[in-house]
Structure 1
Amino acid sequence: MPTSDTSPTEGDQDRSPEIGRTIDVGGIATNYHDVGDGAPVLLIHGSGPGVSAWANWRLTIPELAKQHRVIAPDIVGFGYTERPDDIRYDAEAWLAHLVGLLDALGLAKVAVVGNSFGGSLALRLATRHPERVERLVLMGSVGLLFPLTPGLDEVWGYEPSVPNMRHLLNVFAYDPRFASDELAELRYRASIRPGVQNAYAEMFPPPRQDKITAMAVPEAAIAALPHETLIIHGRDDRVIPLATSLRLLDLIPHSQLHVFARCGHWVQIEHANRFNALVNAFLAEAR
């Protein structure tokens, strides 16, 4: 398979904490973080511009790793994972990449934590390969049909500039302290790395309602999930409506929902300590 030259270099590793280890997944050089010991937990990041596993989970990885083996990959098309020239970015390609990663690491079963776009992939993994999932955590999750929000349209329609990134940070976060000029500059730089914006624009072209439909998992399959599931949402989320998590609570038999007030789409960042404690306690119940 022809690939673009986007794999990590030795120099990159000196510069960026976003780069972890590299593993071959079906011919794709995949960047991932593998930290800690214990029962494995797979963290699946969201789809913001310039996102990587580390950017999404930087406050989560060290805390969960105190009790678990934490696996956090850059999904193909994102971060520092190689971007094949001939790939079609869709839910099937992303699912195949996740399953391939688990196979390459020799992991038969993992707990899964999915954020937003990553929640859709977590649901797809759990419904299509239920034997590979121990427990499920869904945070601000995509995966159901819902009307495209203005916030999500802005996220998926991002055009690179510092002001545009600064605006998106305010869309993501309820508290403006989490949308600093420094972070806007950092994430803007990540969004203009070679090949990143081209791949991003290819993933989420208009009409973007079609992408929500394409990423939706059948409700009957969700209702048949046997897994204990923790659903988390920010009450003031402007990207994914709280109604999606309320519907997931109705559908999933063994589920619970925790809603954080004064919180946008970044529960794991805006309420990091409470989020980490909640997830750690939920995962500990499986022991």
Structure 2
Amino acid sequence: MNAANPEIALRTRAAGIDTNYHDQGSGFPVLFIHGSGPGVSAWANWRLVLPEIAKSNRVIAPDMVGFGFTERPEGATYDIDTWVAQAIGLLDALGLPKAHIVGNSFGGAIALALAIRHPERVERLVLMGSVGVPFPITPGLDAVWGYQPSFENMRALLDIFAFSRELVNDELAQLRYSASIRPGFQESFSAMFPAPRQRWVDAMASRESDIRNLPHETLIIHGRDDKVIPLSNSLTLLEWIDRSQLHVFSRCGHWVQIEHSQRFSQLLAGFFAETSS
């Protein structure tokens, strides 16, 4: 890890993309796929969870292409095919035939598509506040994907993300705003989800029949008060995925892994401990 910036860690080529990723702990591997907020990185998303899960498992958390400190190749296509290929490419580069997959929001759609396309690479699946099923875009998600850089806009977004104002103080808003204006960050972000944005929700959805055919034990997690991704998404996933369970956190917005990080980590650790792998 880079002492000056903990978001920068290791590098490898994954599906031809020079990928920044975190790799901690030992044991059965868990691949964490972050969400799509402005200025996001794997570290920003998972920093509270990785050390906890690393006590029992090997945790791997990449910056998906277009985000964080992974290369932004000229002319890159930012879509579900590219992101799934990058995730599989990272597992290949690390010599990992199988892993638990954890997807947050946008990352949930990638995790779902990965499990559908490469079921043999997935042991257990965790979907948190997940995209990946059809739903009308919320005003919250439209605001996140439509973000234009300013401290005030970031402060307003943090109010959308979290249930409690205590979590989203001005110091965090300044940090996230600064992250969003690093060279190249906003350019790739604004290119990803131009208006009208319902089409990007639709493009990230997997087919109902494919989701219903998933064989994996799946843990679904959602914040009851999520303004970005509706709780109904997780209820749909619970209905469609045969071997699934749903945990809903009250007084919680879109950031379960931050707002209730300890309980979130305990939930994951227990779920992974059930496997014999």
User: Which residue matches 2:144?
Assistant: 155
Matching residue's letter, 2:50: I
Q: In 2, Cα distance between the equivalents of 1:193 and 1:35?
A: 26
Q: In 1, Cα distance between the equivalents of 2:130 and 2:15?
A: 27
Q: In 2, Cα distance between the equivalents of 1:129 and 1:207?
A: 31
User: Which residue matches 2:256?
Assistant: 267
Q: Does 1:164 align with 2:153?
A: yes
TM-score normalised to the size of structure 1?
A: 0.95
Q: In 1, Cα distance between the equivalents of 2:218 and 2:17?
A: 31
Q: Does 1:110 align with 2:99?
A: yes
User: Which residue matches 1:44?
Assistant: 33
Q: In 1, Cα distance between the equivalents of 2:56 and 2:120?
A: 23
Q: In 2, Cα distance between the equivalents of 1:242 and 1:28?
A: 34
Q: In 1, Cα distance between the equivalents of 2:189 and 2:11?
A: 21
RMSD of aligned residue pairs (Cα, Å): 0.9
TM-score normalised to the size of structure 2?
A: 0.98
Q: Where do residues 1-287 of structure 1 align in structure 2 (5 Å cutoff)?
A: 13-287=2-276
- SS of residue paired to 2:23: strand
Q: Deviations over 1:124-149 (max 9, x none)?
A: 00000000000000000000010010
Query: How many angstroms does 1:180 deviate by?
Result: 1.1
Q: In 2, Cα distance between the equivalents of 1:70 and 1:93?
A: 22
Query: How many angstroms does 1:14 deviate by?
Result: 3.7
Q: In 2, Cα distance between the equivalents of 1:117 and 1:159?
A: 19
Q: In 1, Cα distance between the equivalents of 2:213 and 2:151?
A: 44
Query: How many angstroms does 1:173 deviate by?
Result: 0.1
| Runs of 4+ more than 3 Å apart | none
Query: How many angstroms does 1:183 deviate by?
Result: 0.7
User: Which residue matches 1:9?
Assistant: none
Q: How many residues align?
A: 276
Query: How many angstroms does 1:27 deviate by?
Result: 3.0
Q: Deviations over 1:4-39 (max 9, x none)?
A: xxxxxxxx9342111110111233211000000000
Q: In 2, Cα distance between the equivalents of 1:118 and 1:45?
A: 5
Unaligned 5+ segments in structure 1 are 1-11
Q: Deviations over 1:165-200 (max 9, x none)?
A: 111111000011111111111111110111110100
Identity %: 64
Matching residue's letter, 2:228: V
Q: In 2, Cα distance between the equivalents of 1:200 and 1:31?
A: 17
